[in-house]
Amino acid sequence: MCGGRLSVVEESSLFSIRRLLLAAGAAGMVASVAVGPVAGYTLQNVLVSSFKSPGPAGTVALTKTGAGTLNLSYSLVGLSPNSEYEIRFNNRKCASPGAAIADVAFKSSGKGTSFASTILDDAAALTSKSARLMRNGTQVDCALFADFNGDGDVDGADFLTIIDKPGAKGIVDLQRTADPAIDRLVITLVGLQPGAYTLRASTKPCSSTHHHPTDTILGYQWGVSQSGGFKAQTTVTHESGFEAWVSIRVLLDGQQIVCAKTYKSFAP
């Protein structure tokens, strides 16, 4: 295992029943209340974008349901407390000014975070090349969208989990990279209580209460201070066994507090 001492996240490490290539974490802050839960969906035209700036960080995901509804989910940490922000969907990559396709306004919590999982009434957002985090009309950060179907401007993601439950809210996604042997795991969770946390990618559905160590494909361990949020990006070797991944389980001090279904990409 590999771990690192962080400013807010006290200690973190990635473990796997297979091989570990590299682990790295970054700290966050505390959570706000979710806008509203989204019903289950199939992975069609899914876009994922991750902000990685030293200040605000987190993940934005657009998912199209089987019924054609467009869902927006975002989990952000490190924001200025009680501040107005916008997520701006843009038709160009970050190096170009481009034009706004859609804007979503929100206000950060008193601890500098925000989470939402809700409906977006603008299907054109799926044509976005980038997501831009705006504050007072000024761009704070920009991130390219990764296309789940593998035909976007950057390599797509393999798995996506949106957690919107008491005890933890956030987004976990496993992104492909240019190297087919390497995957990038991005975790952004908010609403956490102080304690020792473990995140497990499991081969068992949430309906299964029995857990065996071999059910865990990979996992991540960390401790959370009073700030209560967590953001990490970890690089792992891609394994064929990942195809058995069906859920994410979050444990606090060894006890499971949250389980959420993991959705798979259509990409080969």
Give the residue numbers spanning the domain of 156. 2-264
Q: Specify the pLDDT at position 86.
A: 95
Q: Cα(first)–Cα(last) distance of the chain, in Å?
A: 30
At residue 247's C-alpha, the angle toward residues 241 and 248, to 5°, is 105
Question: In this predicted model, what pLDDT tens digit does every residue of 77-96 receive, in sequence order?
Answer: 999 999 999 999 999 989 89
- For residues 184 and 197, the answer to whether their CB atoms sit within 8 Å is no
Res. 53 pLDDT band, cuts 50 70 90: low
Q: Specify the pLDDT at position 147.
A: 57
- For residues 89 and 100, the answer to whether their CB atoms sit within 8 Å is yes
- Tell me which amino acid residue 173 is: D
Res. 159 pLDDT band, cuts 50 70 90: confident
Domain count, the chain: 1
% the chain with pLDDT above 70 = 74
Distances (CA, A) of 212 to 5, 204, 216, 233: 29, 9, 8, 26
